[in-house]
Amino acid sequence: MRALLLAGLMAGTAWGQAQLVEVQAPSAPSRFEVTLQPVRVQVNGKFTQHLGTFGAVSWSPRKHLALQVLGGGNWYNEEAAFNGELIEKFRVEAQAATSMLWTWGLFGAVELEPFLGEFTLFDGPRGQLGFVLSVGAGAGGTRHQLKPASTTPARYGDTGVRFMATAAAGLRFRVGEHFTASFEVRDVGFSSDATTVNGCDEGDLGAIARRSLLFRDDESPLSLSPSCRGFPRDQYMDAFVAQSLVRSRSTDIIHDLGLALGAGFIF
């Protein structure tokens, strides 16, 4: 009996020492990670289609937490073929709340990694698999189609820079000390309200539209606001579409949901 009590006491002491060492173990050192997403694909593009390239720089002051700066641009941002069919067959066009295009974005974000597990690849190097969540905010550029493509290319109007919010969830694979691969689902939300087109407000656009109808050959300068970049004389009809876009004020939020694969390097 004494031997059993002594063995139990020794085992309990050893377990307590092991627990103490685990609690007092130093946290992981801070690190930087650079991630590149060569292609981000929009998956909810009923009226718009976006393809872009994005990247991020992350700093982890402690394990499971990182601060990020991420950004990039959509080198392909066009209205979807479905919207073109609506215009051609039914003379109906999607509202700005669904057809505004996103050109670029720059965000600051906080990233959390609530789950992190380890694995071994074929008796090779040890790796880690983490589930990652992030939220952030920033700004981005937008534009809207003014004329669809026909015998001439489509034309667009710049609808300005606006506030954007973002949230993401994904998986990160870490192999060795420096290399990572990731899969991410990210939502970017922004307001569809357009107050200017090419820097021109509703008054500017009305003046340009009236000139195109009444005084097409008039060379006198228009009285426009300093920010208004106007339209080329052969594209004055676009001002009518732009004026309608500005008049139809909207409080809807556009959500661009995208998938991306990324590769990263840890310093």
| Run means of pLDDT, 10 residues per run, the chain, 267 residues | 44 39 46 96 90 97 94 93 51 58 97 89 79 98 88 91 97 91 97 93 89 64 87 83 85 93 96
> CATH 2.40.160.20 in the chain, residues?
27-193+250-267
Could you tell me if 211 and 232 are in contact, meaning their C-beta atoms sit under 8 angstroms apart?
no
The dihedral through the CA atoms of 106, 259, 85, 253 has a sign that is: negative
What is the reported pLDDT for 83?
56
Could you tell me if 76 and 112 are in contact, meaning their C-beta atoms sit under 8 angstroms apart?
no
What is the reported pLDDT for 2?
46
* Residues 258, 48: Cα–Cα separation, whole Å: 12
- Centroid of chain to Cα 177: 28
What is the reported pLDDT for 165?
98
Question: Which two tokens mark 183?
Answer: 């899969």
Angle at 126 between CA 124 and CA 128, to 5 degrees: 140
Q: Which contiguous run of DSSP H or E holds residue 97?
A: helix 96-99
What is the reported pLDDT for 54?
98
CATH fold, domain 27-193+250-267, is Porin (2.40.160)
What is the reported pLDDT for 18?
33
**Nearest residue to 142 (alpha-carbon basis) of 261, 39, 36, 245:** 245
What is the reported pLDDT for 20?
32
